[in-house]
Amino acid sequence: MSRSKTEAKRPTQRSEMSKWQWTWKEMKRNKTAYFMLAPFLILFIVFTVLPVVLSMILSLTNFDMLNIPDFVGAKNFTRLFLDDEIFILACQNTLIFACITGPVSYILSLLIAWFINELPPKIRAVVTLIFYAPSISGQVYLIWKTLFSSDSYGWVNATLMKWGLQSEAILWFENADYVMPLCIVVALWTSLGTAFLSFIAGLQTIDRSMYEAAAVDGIKNRWQELWYITLPTMRPQLMFGAVLSITQAFGFGAVVDALCGFPSVDYAAHTIMHHLSDYGGQRYEIGYASAIAVILFIIMFGCNIVIKKALSKVGE
């Protein structure tokens, strides 16, 4: 680890001692740094790192909160993939859900941020608020339940009936055909969050003179501008936004629960996250639930690695 020039207190000459001695000395010299980090780090380790590690260990056992756990090897995993049809269904649903909401929300955030970038500041602030508000307003998505209410007081049913497209009310959230698309729409509605703001900010920091220089160099339209200048310049924001979008795409369980109840009709909107809560929170099969959690971790990290690779190709 390199030392910055700015540290004047008791400089240590690295060459005089072994690596471990040097590290120890540096640690002692930076005592304050560790003290300042400690409160956060301890909580972070206890409530974030430890649960992950514990999941990995418990996934290899048959722990049930009551008896002393036995080591069962990969049995939980083989059971998941070979004997649990609902898990396979949950995997399909999760992939459909995440593969639509993740990319669509990401692209939408980026496009809208880009569209509004050239608006006058006051108008831009208002438009930003309109797009961002649903993501910070908590359970406001419950209004979709009123709009798509299963009786004729729901706006959608009433409109369909008034126009004669439908003779009786549709039970939107109790129909396996409609549950998934509806949840996706609502999830997208709430999804323009921190990534969206990050894109707006990223676009704001790009120097206008870069575009002028590009115009001189023969960039012909706004799409070329976007691809050759805007996107490569804001690659760090694109990366940050991607991480958040992936995380979000797998975390819409609460939206689904609130709209469709749990379990959803015919498991039509049952995701891996629901399967996890089911086994962990209801049936107390902690070992089995941990195996589900481990699979989710692998999927999320896998997505992050793939996206990182893809983003490094932007603007080439």
Residues within window 98-157 making contact with other proteins, judged by CB under 8 A: 108, 111-112, 115-116, 125, 127-134, 136-140, 142-147, 149, 151-155
What's the sign of the alpha-carbon dihedral 144, 146, 148, 154?
negative
Q: Is 263 near other proteins (CB under 8 A)?
A: no
Q: Is 210 near other proteins (CB under 8 A)?
A: no
> Which parts of 224-253 interact with other proteins (CB under 8 A)?
224-225, 234-237, 239-240, 243-244, 246-248, 250-251, 253
176-189 vs 253-260: helix crossing angle, rounded to 10: 130
Task: Map residue 61 onto helix, strand or coil.
Answer: strand
Q: How far is the CB of 243 from other proteins (least distance, A)?
A: 5
Contact stretch for other proteins (CB under 8 A) within 71-79, 82-90, 176-184, 199-207: 199-207
Q: Of residues 39, 73, 120, 164, which one binds other proteins by CB under 8 A?
A: 39
CA dihedral 97, 98, 100, 104 (to 10 degrees): 140
What is the C-alpha to C-alpha distance for residues 301 and 232, in angstroms, rounded to an integer? 24
Q: Is 89 near other proteins (CB under 8 A)?
A: no
Contact stretch for other proteins (CB under 8 A) within 38-46, 71-79, 86-94, 170-178: 38-46
> Which parts of 164-193 interact with other proteins (CB under 8 A)?
189, 192
H helix intervals, the chain: 19-29, 31-44, 50-58, 75-83, 85-116, 121-136, 143-147, 155-162, 176-189, 194-204, 208-216, 222-225, 231-233, 235-249, 253-260, 272-277, 286-311
Q: Of residues 82, 254, 306, 310, which one binds other proteins by CB under 8 A?
A: 254
Question: Is residue 39 reached through a cis peptide bond, with omega within 30 degrees of 0 on the bond before it?
Answer: no
What is the C-alpha to C-alpha distance for residues 180 and 315, in angstroms, rounded to an integer? 35
What is the C-alpha to C-alpha distance for residues 222 and 235, in angstroms, rounded to an integer? 18
Binding residue count for other proteins, defined by CB under 8 A: 123
Q: Of residues 89, 96, 265, 300, which one binds other proteins by CB under 8 A?
A: 300
Question: Whose Cβ is closer to other proteins: residue 179's or residue 242's?
Answer: 242
Q: Is 283 near other proteins (CB under 8 A)?
A: no
Question: Whose Cβ is closer to other proteins: residue 179's or residue 290's?
Answer: 290
